A and B are shown apart, each in its own frame.
Chain A
Amino acid sequence: MSITTPWTIEGKNHERNFKSIMFLGLLWLSLFVAFLFLLILLVTTALNGVGRYDLRLFTAYNNTTPTDAGARAAILGSLFVVTVTALMAIPMGIAAAVYLEEFADRTKWYNNFIELNIQNLAAVPAILYGMLTLGVLTLMGLKNKNVVIGGSIALALLILPVVILTTREALRAVPQEIRDGSLALGATEVQTVTKQTLPAAVPGIATGTILAVSRAIGEAAPLLLLGALVFITYDPNGLLAGFTTMPIQIFSWTSAAQAEFKQIAAAMSMVLLVILLSMNGVAIYIRNKFAKRW
């Protein structure tokens, strides 16, 4: 019988000795250090960007004169690349997760192999996805590697394992009784998935995909390899157009010599942080608010 007992068994006076208090203090300290760093990072970055929080940051193209430079091309590039990324990675990831969680026979070696493979892919260094994409684009016969579709392929491959793993977790949280009930009423397995299991898992899947997409927005390493560090003064207008993205633009301004470029790099970092932290916030909100406890 595993009835959940509220665990107040521990004796309170035992906690009052010096060692225990020190231990708890150290635990608090480690959590505090994490929060402190988050705060310092936000404040120093915000302060570094003072003077460049203006409209030009969004409307102007990049410029060799720091005060005239803006991130219009990078912002539109990020938007374009990440939209295509999401369109590729999310349906594919959900489909793979549904197969692995709902249909796969765990005793078959190939299903185990696929599972192991996805767990490994989730931890493969991001930059290697850039190298893979170089190979894929060469196979597609594209000579110019810095194209929107190239960036999207790289980022989609990067976030696919994340989408699969989080979707699986969301599906796993749906109790077996719901599936059994649906099947017992005569629904087929596919109907059970599309009408019962998937809708029940939507909050978890939404949280996972938002986090995956925000990772794609912030990632720069694989795009660096495609040559996305370029000076672009036009809006990306097609899948084969050249592009740059916000993180790449920040990287390029950070490595520039003049101090004014650091300022605009910091301002742009804040824009990126606001976007990503609010996406994270929304994801966490959805998880806490809508995730059902069965």
Chain B
Amino acid sequence: MSEVTGSVNAPEFSLASSSLRVGERAIRATLFMAAAFSVLITVGIVWSLLVPAIEFFRQVSIIEFLTGTRWAPRFKPASFGVVPLIVGTLWTTAIALLVAVPFGLGSAVYLSEYASEKNRRRLKPIVELLAGIPTVVYGFFAIEFVTRVVFKEWFGFTVGTFSVLSAGLVMGIMIIPTVASLSEDALSAVPLAMRQGSFALGANKMQTTLRVVFPAAFSGIAAAVVLGISRAIGETMIVALAAGNKPNISSNPLEGAQTMTGFIANAALGDSRVGSLEYDTLFAVGLLLFMITLIINFISIRLVRRYREAY
């Protein structure tokens, strides 16, 4: 073909010299070590959790741990059923998602589809600021404002100091930027031509957004929600402050309950001896937390790769 097409579809070749200088090799090797260090971190996490957790499971059966409905590691006789902690985590996570998914997605759709470039650049940082607020401050806000002022004074709910509803609501606000920014990326990645095609067929903006752009970006939006779930499960300070530290399989979100992370934080404040069963319990729960978030994170990463491949 002509030279013009040849330069547009340039053949795959590298401009870099084929044999490297010794110094370049050394620098590359050093940089590689820095990247490979991240694998060492993961190995370290697994190792630091697994060693004490194995010690724990020598004394408590895995089945009792996963199916038991009474969590009382400090009582005599102690009981190690993790179900109450999982139920507590599910409560706060579910409530957080009920807040974060609609508001996060709504913000993302507005910013990506409706806002002018100028407004987008003004409004987006404000949403992002929500992610910059430290979680202890959110926790303080949850007990001092949401529980004490809104629940007790304004609505007159019968509620103690701690409630999973308050912790979950505030956690939901914290996660809005996570959901919003990832879904906005996914929405913006949908090619303009698809919107133009839809408009050309007579659809209006809402129809185009809901029936063309949204389905096209679905895997990316799902990834955003899944990452939000992971953040909610792993969040510690808000639940440690506002959800309380009483393990509780409750059907009432106004009651307090302990989550997995809440237990770890609370137990870390105690004075359990290194090597005692009580101390190892921390790592058994930590291992469970790591496994759950690992699975969820991989689902999210897979979903992101799917939409990256599509467009």
Contact = CB atoms under 8 A, between A and B. Distances in A.
B97 interface: no
A140 interface: no
B95 to A, nearest CB: 15
B24 A135 contact: no
Interface string B186-226: 00000011011001101111101110000000000000000
Contacts of B206: 15, 19-20, 23-24
A218 B174 CA distance: 13
Contacts of B45: 124, 128-129, 131-132
Interface in A106-145: 113-114, 116-121, 123-132, 134-136
Interface string A26-48: 11111101110110110011001
Interface stretch (B72-80, B125-133, B246-254): B125-133
B282 A5 contact: no
B205 A30 contact: no
A91 B237 CA distance: 29
A104 B123 CA distance: 36
Nearest to B195: A7
A125 B294 CA distance: 10
A220 B264 CA distance: 13
B155 to A, nearest CB: 16
B31 A125 contact: no
B145 A220 contact: no
A96 B23 CA distance: 18
A17 to B, nearest CB: 8
Contacts of B49: 128, 131-132
B38 A254 contact: no
Interface in B23-54: 23-24, 27-28, 30-32, 34-39, 41-42, 44-45, 47-49, 51
Contacts of B227: 123
Interface residues of B, number: 102
A41 B103 contact: no
A10 B103 CA distance: 26
A143 to B, nearest CB: 9
Contacts of A135: 44, 47-48, 51
A272 B230 CA distance: 26
B38 A95 contact: no
Which secondary structure characterizes the binding site on chain A? helix
Contacts of A251: 136, 139, 237, 240-241
Contacts of B30: 95
A116 B301 contact: yes
A55 interface: no
Contacts of A277: 129, 132-133
A273 interface: yes
A226 B296 CA distance: 27
Interface stretch (A63-71, A79-87, A157-165, A234-242): A157-165
A29 to B, nearest CB: 7
A48 B143 CA distance: 12
A124 B134 contact: no
Given A125-B289, A188-B24, A27 B110 contact: yes
A95 B34 contact: yes
A125 B261 contact: yes
A127 B141 contact: no
A220 B265 CA distance: 10
A136 to B, nearest CB: 7
8 contacts: A10-B205, A14-B202, A24-B114, A31-B123, A41-B137, A113-B39, A114-B39, A127-B261
Given A31-B110, A99-B35, A120-B42, 20 more contacts: A17-B204, A26-B106, A27-B110, A28-B110, A35-B126, A37-B130, A95-B30, A98-B31, A123-B234, A124-B45, A131-B264, A131-B283, A132-B45, A189-B20, A218-B135, A220-B237, A227-B268, A254-B143, A273-B137, A277-B133
Interface of A: 2, 4-5, 7, 9-11, 14-15, 17, 19-20, 23-24, 26-31, 33-35, 37-38, 40-41, 44-45, 48, 92-93, 95-96, 98-100, 103-104, 113-114, 116-121, 123-132, 134-136, 157, 160-161, 164, 179-180, 183-184, 188-190, 211, 214, 217-221, 224-225, 227, 229, 247-248, 250-251, 254-255, 262, 265-266, 269, 272-273, 276-277, 279-281, 284, 288
